[in-house]
Amino acid sequence: MSITPFDSALQGRAFADVDIARLFSDSAELRAMLIIWGALARAQAAHGLIPHDSAEAIHRAMLEIQIDPGALAADTARNGVCIPALVVAVRSEMQAPEHAQWLHHGATSQDIIDTGLALRLRQALGLISDRLEAALNGLADLADAHAETPMAARTYGQVATPTTFGATVAIWGQGLLVQLADLARIRDLVQIVTLHGAGGTLSAMGDAGPTIRADLARGLGLSDPIGSPHADRSHMRALAGWLGQTLAALDKCATDLMLLTRDGSVTLGGAGASSTMPQKANPVAPSQIRALAWHGLALTQALSSTPWDHRDGSEWFAEWLALPQLVTATARALTLLNGMTIIPDAAQLRAPLDDPSGLIHAEAISFALDLPRPEAQAQVKSWIAEIRENGGSLIEMSGLPDADFAPEAQWGEAPAQARRFAAAVRA
């Protein structure tokens, strides 16, 4: 087993996301930071902070230079960040010291690294948004198609009252619908430029600093934050929380599917095989989603700390360890849901409702009896005890019409809940 299955040649396809992995590769990180340096040089030149010809030389070089991440590894381990070694390497590659001296002028390592992360998060959240919408559309279709497919609701694991499969699917989707509605806020929080200098005051760029930052933000298509995010990591905690909540919503769907596949109430297309039991059709995808959700819960805890002072290396490093895994776990879990073919078995789902004992209708019968409420409950409990000991039918004992306890007479607003959810998604 590798240190992390996300990077494993053997297990990676089960848990990792190829598109997210590209965005969190060393080469993608370096490329993003080079782009920022080029844009920063132009913004600084526009306000007279560095020479125009040097800014153009830097901008051009940042589009052309290729840096080997491995060549920076030793210095990165010693310095804790890659920027000092990267500055040296890029200046050397430029072969124009009169221009290269203006590279990274007035910025600090966190400015460049965090802004580069923002560029990559913009793409990652775009991918996640697309997959979230696809998941919701799939669940909306499923809920609509089975709005009137009866099944037994369960509470505390026990058969409770009638509902429908469509209403159950709507429950799965409601949590995801909330997350989609909140995604715009999260994107606004994290798609920001970080340019605040060593102490968070951008003092090295003088009076022009805030204007340069605003220009850099516009050039990169990012927002200019109100304050310095060096020590205020609330935007990263908000992102971690959103990713964790999305995984939790996916976990609800996956957990219910695992329960429903136990007795064949639901089957999954493309289920996994057993090495020794030919009859098995294992719910592998829901199991993977649950594992990713549990892992995500632990990762959100790693991203919940409060930084020290005006910058905190340890809190920042913890983000590097946890955030890429949390992003890829969320993206992969959505892909797994979208890849599942969920096939409900209407007869198997309905079976508990057709139980000859009629115990599932106990609540409805207690309300239907023409007795004061306490007496009705006591009477129904007495009948239930008798049925459990000697058998029989609760509906027959009550003397009420069988038709009053058909699924459509007892499922309440379940079909409406399914259709409201589908309509909300499509709206």
Q: Please list the active-site residues.
A: 274, 311
DSSP code, position 223: B
- Name 269's bridge partners: 341
17 and 335 Cβ atoms separated by less than 8 Å: yes
Q: What's the rounded Cα separation, in Å, for the pair 62 and 271?
A: 48
Q: What's the rounded Cα separation, in Å, for the pair 93 and 60?
A: 12
376 and 369 Cβ atoms separated by less than 8 Å: yes
Phi then psi for residue 68, to 5 deg, are -80, 115
104 and 83 Cβ atoms separated by less than 8 Å: yes
Within 10 angstroms of residue 329's Cβ, the number of other Cβ atoms is: 29
Q: What's the rounded Cα separation, in Å, for the pair 147 and 73?
A: 57
Long-range contacts of residues 201-207, Cβ cutoff 8 Å, at least 24 apart = 201/228, 202/106, 204/105, 204/106, 204/107, 205/44, 205/49, 205/106, 206/49
- DSSP characters over 31-67: HHHHHHHHHHHHHHHHTTSS-HHHHHHHHHHHHH---
